[in-house]
């Protein structure tokens, strides 16, 4: 009798849990899964009138070296931005964790401030900074480090520099959260065993901060490769990435099936890279 009562109680709890999760599941299906299914269906049409299904748009996209190079450039941009934000976020996170509560509150406000500003405003600010009459060029000319203004706009370097600053909070916030949770006794034990600060950083702090790195890298990569506004305004027409291809095919040429193919490719590649980052993190954790 007791076993039957326990089973009945478990069944009722499971049913209640499903009832609580049902609204969220239905919302997810309506606003996320359904559009993705529609997008995948549209990508299978051969014509812009959406009358013939054949999949020729996929062949057209994947067999064209130009679009394959666009995929490679998009992934490369995301990888470089992730590497830059990861390298810069470590010293900033260490400074944050070593500061007092008052300084931490100020630093946290500075970190969050870019997220409270429109990405359009931040992008136009970088256009002013990177322009021929911008802050960087004027400083270089004033110091005599350059004889003429450098072409920073519509270049990969300028775009990477701007995206690194724009995406930095997405890397810093998860990393700071994880690093603040590291037990200080582990750091004291490392120093007591004779490890230098550098060795403690490499062998203790960085490995224990891996979940923060993974979360930050996933957010930064997904955000940077889909940053259509920054890519268009700072990169210009000289740099072509998948978001601009999607916009051009859908809003200029009205080739919805081809735009859907590019969108699905972008989504799949982002998910694959994020999965790869998570898999590599698990492997390093086992080591």
Determine the Cα–Cα distance for residues 275 and 166; give it in Å rounded to an integer.
Answer: 23
Using CA atoms, how far residue 21 sits from 9, 14, 26, in Å, is 18, 11, 9
79 is a domain residue: yes
For residue 79, name the pLDDT band (cuts at 50, 70, 90).
Answer: very high
For residue 27, name the pLDDT band (cuts at 50, 70, 90).
Answer: confident
10 Å Cβ neighbour count for 250? 17
pTM (2 d.p.): 0.84
For residue 220, name the pLDDT band (cuts at 50, 70, 90).
Answer: very high
Of 53-62, 101-110, 174-183, 196-205, least confident by mean pLDDT is 196-205
Average pLDDT, stretch 172-179?
A: 91
Determine the Cα–Cα distance for residues 282 and 278; give it in Å rounded to an integer.
Answer: 6
Nearest CA to 52 among 228, 257, 207, 196? Answer: 257
For residue 233, name the pLDDT band (cuts at 50, 70, 90).
Answer: confident
The structural domain count of the chain equals: 1
> What CATH number corresponds to the domain at position 195?
1.10.3720.10
Average pLDDT, stretch 101-116?
A: 87
Q: Does residue 16 carry a pLDDT above 80? A: no
Q: What is the pLDDT of residue 287?
A: 55
10 Å Cβ neighbour count for 156? 14
30 is a domain residue: no
**What 3 state SS string does 207-274 have?**
HHCHHHHHHHHHHHHHHHHCCHHHHHHHHHHHCCCHHHHHHHHHHHCCCHHHHHHHHHHHHHHHHHHH
Of 23-27, 91-95, 157-161, 164-168, least confident by mean pLDDT is 23-27
- Higher per-residue pLDDT: 152 or 241: 241
131 is a domain residue: no
For residue 110, name the pLDDT band (cuts at 50, 70, 90).
Answer: confident
Can you give the residue range of the structural domain that contains 91?
64-113+151-286
Q: What is the pLDDT of residue 53?
A: 84
Q: What is the pLDDT of residue 14?
A: 59
Q: Does residue 65 carry a pLDDT above 70? A: yes
Q: Does residue 114 carry a pLDDT above 90? A: no
pLDDT tens digits, 127-139: 888 888 888 888 8
Average pLDDT, the chain: 85
Place of tokens 């999607």: 246
Q: What is the pLDDT of residue 73?
A: 94
pLDDT tens digits, 239-278: 889 999 999 998 888 889 999 999 999 999 999 998 888 8
CA atoms within 13 A on the CB side of 265: 27
> What percent of the chain is predicted at pLDDT more than 70?
93
43 is a domain residue: no
CB 219 within 8 A of CB 171: yes
Residue 27 contacts by C-beta under 8 Å, 6 or more apart in sequence?
Answer: none
pLDDT tens digits, 199-210: 888 888 888 888
Average pLDDT, stretch 172-187?
A: 87
Determine the Cα–Cα distance for residues 72 and 68; give it in Å rounded to an integer.
Answer: 6
Q: Is 13 exposed, middle or buried (0-12, 13-18, 19+ CB in 10 A)?
A: exposed
105 is a domain residue: yes
80 is a domain residue: yes
Q: What is the DSSP letter of 114?
A: G
Q: What is the DSSP letter of 144?
A: T
89 is a domain residue: yes
69 is a domain residue: yes
Q: Does residue 191 carry a pLDDT above 90? A: no
């Amino acid at each position: 009798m007791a076993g039957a009562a326990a089973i009945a109680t478990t069944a009722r709890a499971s049913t209640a849990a499903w009832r609580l999760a049902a609204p969220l599941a239905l919302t997810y299906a309506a606003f996320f899964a359904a559009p993705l299914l529609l997008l995948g269906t549209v990508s299978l049409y051969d014509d812009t009138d959406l009358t013939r299904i054949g999949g020729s748009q996929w062949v057209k996209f994947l067999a064209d070296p130009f679009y394959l190079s666009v995929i490679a450039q998009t992934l490369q941009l995301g990888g470089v931005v992730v590497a830059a934000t990861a390298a810069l976020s470590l010293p900033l996170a260490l400074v944050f964790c070593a500061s007092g509560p008052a300084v931490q509150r100020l630093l946290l406000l500075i970190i969050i401030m870019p997220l409270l500003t429109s990405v359009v405003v931040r992008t136009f600010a970088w256009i002013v900074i990177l322009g021929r009459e911008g802050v960087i060029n004027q400083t270089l000319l004033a110091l005599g480090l350059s004889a003429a203004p450098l072409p920073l706009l519509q270049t990969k370097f300028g775009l990477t520099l701007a995206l690194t600053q724009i995406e930095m909070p997405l890397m810093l916030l998860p990393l700071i959260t994880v690093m603040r949770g590291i037990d200080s006794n582990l750091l004291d034990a490392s120093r007591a065993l004779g490890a230098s600060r550098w060795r403690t950083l490499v062998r203790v702090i960085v490995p224990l901060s891996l979940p923060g790195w993974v979360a930050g890298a996933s957010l930064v990569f997904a955000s940077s490769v889909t940053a259509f506004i920054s890519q268009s305004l700072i990169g210009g027409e000289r740099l072509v990435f998948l978001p601009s291809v999607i916009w051009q095919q859908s809003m200029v040429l009205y080739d919805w099936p081809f735009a859907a193919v590019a969108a699905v490719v972008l989504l799949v590649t982002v998910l694959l890279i994020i999965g790869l980052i998570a898999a590599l993190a698990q492997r390093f954790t086992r080591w």
